[in-house]
Amino acid sequence: MLPNKIARVRFMRQTNLRTDYQHSIAISLLRGLAALQVAAAHVRAQFYPGLSTIPDPSAGYQVLAFFTGFAHQAVVIFFLLSGWLVGGSLMNKLDQPHAMLSYAIDRISRLWIVLAPAFAASLLIGVVTGELAPWRAANAIPAEFSLVTFAGNMFGLQDLAVPRYGGNFALWSLTYETWYYILFPLAVLMFARPGALPKAASAVAVAFIAWHLNAAILLYFTLWLMGAGFSRIHIRAGRKLKWGFAALFALVAAWFRVKGSNNILVEESYVQDLLYSLLFLVLLCSLQAKVPPTATLTRRLGRIGRFFAEFSFSLYVIHVPLIFLLRHLNERQLGIDELDPGGLSDFGLYVSMVMLIVLLAWLFHLPFEAQTYRVRRRLKAWMLPRVQPQNIA
């Protein structure tokens, strides 16, 4: 048995994406928890007054504000896990025929099968709430509901060329994610392609795209790349050392929650997020061990994690339009514009709204996100008839 004070590092030839390992269970749990954290944070921000605006907040509300205030860190986790799963999977398959075309099918299907119906739902919710009234001749369609904005958001151009569709303020992170999906394979081709001309073409494409992106997107691409790189690292550590990694990561996350930047990802928050990311990835690398058959609790957590991970993207994309709908219904039906931070019944209403949003997101994912792998298989059977389709995250 490895001494608890010693950690051994080795580099792996392939990213381990098997689901029966500790790190895979942790990834599933974190994908679901991160989406839930973002949704809970946004519900609180939309229905409760800001903590800093309350002269003497109750202890209960301070606890609620603290534990629903990790949305910033949750988005960083999303990027790190995306780099680990998406980047690691692509690197595993570079030697396969038509790897890049297969990758493009995977990424487009992953995004569009959720985004298109989510934007349609936003359109309907806009009609219900009165934000969009196309039948009135005097009312022009707002820019955030236009076809140009729809198309721009499908291609990750929100905040770069068009507004976020339907006022869905959570869509800012998909701009980052979409361009990381594009930049990473181009960067890989700079090194993997034979011949000077293809390498130069990839480099020019990377430089052209980078020129049109802002500094924050490019800075945080390094964290996404870290996720991909660390997916090839195995840190063999004893149980106590693993718990030490986890405790240090939790303490740093809590410290940044209280003292750090907790808005969207910008240049000013990069250094704190770099440290946070390093600690998280070290912890994840130390969990690259197979789950023993006797670890009943761990395997049960794995099933729970996979359940929530399966609709985490749907929850992330659809929760803001659902918040808009709930605000409208609360104001119209209940006469509630803002929740009382000290009221127990209002806290119950808050919890009920979060649970309802999670339930509706799960129902929303069934005809769309849950069909992602089926759609991929059909697309690959049509476009890559000689390639056996394989699923990636």
List the domain boundaries for the chain: 7-383
Q: Is the pLDDT of residue 387 over 50?
A: no
97 Ramachandran zone, left/alpha/beta (phi>0; psi -120 to 50) = beta
In the predicted structure, residue 71 carries a pLDDT above the cut 60 = yes
Q: Helix 296-309 to helix 22-47 angle, to the nearest 10 degrees? A: 50
What would you report as the CA-atom Rg of the chain, rounded to the nearest whole angstrom?
A: 22
List Cβ neighbours of 48 (8 Å cut-off, separation of 6 or more): 61, 338, 339, 341, 350
Is there a contact between 350 and 339 (Cβ–Cβ < 8 Å)?
A: yes
What was the pLDDT predicted at 140? 74
Q: How far apart are CA 248 and CA 281, in angstroms?
A: 12
Predicted confidence band of residue 72 (pLDDT cuts 50, 70, 90): very high
Chain centre distance of CA 225: 15
CA 76/CA 276 separation, integer angstroms: 9
Residue 353 in this model has a pLDDT that exceeds 60: yes
Q: What is the percent of the chain with per-residue pLDDT over 70, rounded to a whole number?
A: 95
Q: What is the mean pLDDT of the chain?
A: 91
pLDDT in tens, 99-158: 999 999 999 999 999 999 999 999 999 999 888 876 555 567 888 999 999 999 999 999
Distance of CA 76 to the CA centre of its chain: 8
Q: What's the confidence (pLDDT) of residue 391?
A: 55
Given this model, what pLDDT does residue 185 score?
95
Question: 259: which residues sit within 8 A by CB, 6+ positions away?
Answer: none
Residue range 310-316: mean pLDDT, rounded: 97
Do residues 154 and 166 lie in contact, with contact meaning Cβ atoms separated by under 8 Å? no
Q: Which is more confidently placed, 59 or 153?
A: 153
User: What's residue 48's pLDDT?
Assistant: 93
Under 8 Å between Cβ of 319 and 38:
yes
pLDDT in tens, 207-253: 999 999 999 999 999 999 999 999 999 999 898 999 999 999 999 99
Residue, of 2 and 155, whose pLDDT is higher: 155
| Rounded (5°) CA angle 324-319-273 | 120
Please give the C-alpha separations between residue 305 and each of 23, 159, 180, 308, 351, in angstroms, as whole numbers. Answer: 12, 32, 25, 5, 21
In the predicted model, what is the mean pLDDT of residues 258-267?
A: 88
DSSP for 2-45 reads: --TT-EEEEE-SS----TTBHHHHHHHHHHHHHHHHHHHHHHHH
Alpha carbon distance 53, 108 (integer Å): 42
Rounded to whole angstroms, the Cα distance separating 29 from 247 reads: 17
Task: Encode pLDDT of 149-182 as tens digits.
Answer: 999 999 999 999 999 999 999 999 999 999 999 9
Residue 137 pLDDT: 52
pTM score = 0.92
Asked if 31 and 306 touch (Cβ cutoff 8 Å), the reply is no
Task: Look up residue 32 and give its amino acid.
Answer: G
The tally of CA atoms less than 13 A away on the side-chain side of residue 234 is 14
**DSSP string covering 179-224:** HHHHHHHHHHHHHHSSSHHHHHHHHHHHHHHHHHS-HHHHHHHHHH
134's tokens: 């196309």
Contact 361/312 with Cβ under 8 angstroms? no
8 Å CB contact between 336 and 330: yes
